[in-house]
């Protein structure tokens, strides 16, 4: 069981990353332009700051996730028991999503 624990953690991390990346790719409804005109200058600045903070958080998470994906792309130190590395099979679609989000 101890041999499978790291693989289980890696697969869980890949699954969580894939779901979060899909959320980033989902289109968000546009903000209502009429509502924007009603906002004061101070409220518009606060809205813009919140949007920039969200983008910075997204960029930080994506950089961290790409580092983790690079680690998961490495071949394991010990060959996996019983055959090919399952981690690599799960890695590929998540990396495609990460590349799509980075290019967005």
Question: Which helix (H) or strand (E) segment is 23 a member of?
Answer: helix 5-25
CA 72 to chain centre: 14
Q: Between the CA of residue 39 and those of 2, 10, 46, 48, 79, what are the distances in Å?
A: 57, 45, 10, 12, 60
Over residues 58-88, the pLDDT tens digits come to 888 888 888 888 877 776 666 656 555 677 7
Give this prediction's pTM: 0.56
CA 85 to chain centre: 22
Nearest Cα to Cα of residue 87 among 72, 100, 77: 72
Instruction: Please give the angle made by the CA atoms of 93, 51 and 67, to the nearest 5 degrees.
Output: 35
pLDDT top residue among 30 and 51: 51
Q: Where are the domains of the chain?
A: 40-104
Over residues 39-50, the pLDDT tens digits come to 788 888 888 899
């Amino acid at each position: 069981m101890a041999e499978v624990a790291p693989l289980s953690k890696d697969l869980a991390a890949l699954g969580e990353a894939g779901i979060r990346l899909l959320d980033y790719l989902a289109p968000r409804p546009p903000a209502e332009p009429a509502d924007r005109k009603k906002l004061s200058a101070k409220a518009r600045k606060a809205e813009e700051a919140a949007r920039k903070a969200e983008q910075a958080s997204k960029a930080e998470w994506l950089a961290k996730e790409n580092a983790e994906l690079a680690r998961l792309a490495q071949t394991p130190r010990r060959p996996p028991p019983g055959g090919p590395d399952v981690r690599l099979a799960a890695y590929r679609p998540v990396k495609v999503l990460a590349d799509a989000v980075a290019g967005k």
